[in-house]
Amino acid sequence: MYITGEVANPGVYYIPEESRLDDLIQICGGFTQNADISELNLAERLSDSDKVEVPKIVNEEKIEYEELQQEEDSNLININNATKEELKTLNGIGDTLADNIINYRKINKFETIEDLLNVNGIGKSKFNSIKEYICVN
């Protein structure tokens, strides 16, 4: 098998009969972050003399992904400057915990979201339920 394109280690590989494209991808070290796998059939059975080329993501798709990522990030609540009302939109954060967060950040800036665990009343369970919705910058 010959594999080129957006894989960690392109080249010629000998694989067992009845192998699938997914097996070859694993053997060659996996995809790069720029791989466009949308047109690949990872379940496809391969033959000895096959050549597979893993295409690169078209710039438009990469730009769309980056824009979506920025949009997701902008929807996060920044615990360093969120208002009490914004904090209260987080699961399980009421008046008391919102006040505790605000009082904590008056003295200590949140460097990481994990610093929220230092706030009185925020335990691992509460933190785990909101960590996907918060940021620090």
Tokens of 93: 């954060």
The conformation of residue 114, written as its DSSP 8-state character, comes to G
pLDDT for the residue 137: 84
Look at the domain 1-58 and name its fold: Outer membrane lipoprotein wza fold like (3.10.560)
If you search the block for the tokens 């990030």, which residue do you land on? 73
Please give the pLDDT value at position 53.
Answer: 93
Q: Report the CATH architecture of 77-135.
A: Orthogonal Bundle (1.10)
pTM, two decimal places: 0.48
pLDDT (0 to 100) of residue 64 = 62
As given in the structure block, the two tokens for residue 73 are 């990030």
**What averages of pLDDT result for each successive group of 10 residues across the chain (137 residues)?**
94 91 94 90 90 83 59 77 94 95 94 95 94 91
Domain residue spans of the chain = 1-58, 77-135
- Residue tagged 């997914």 (tokens): 22
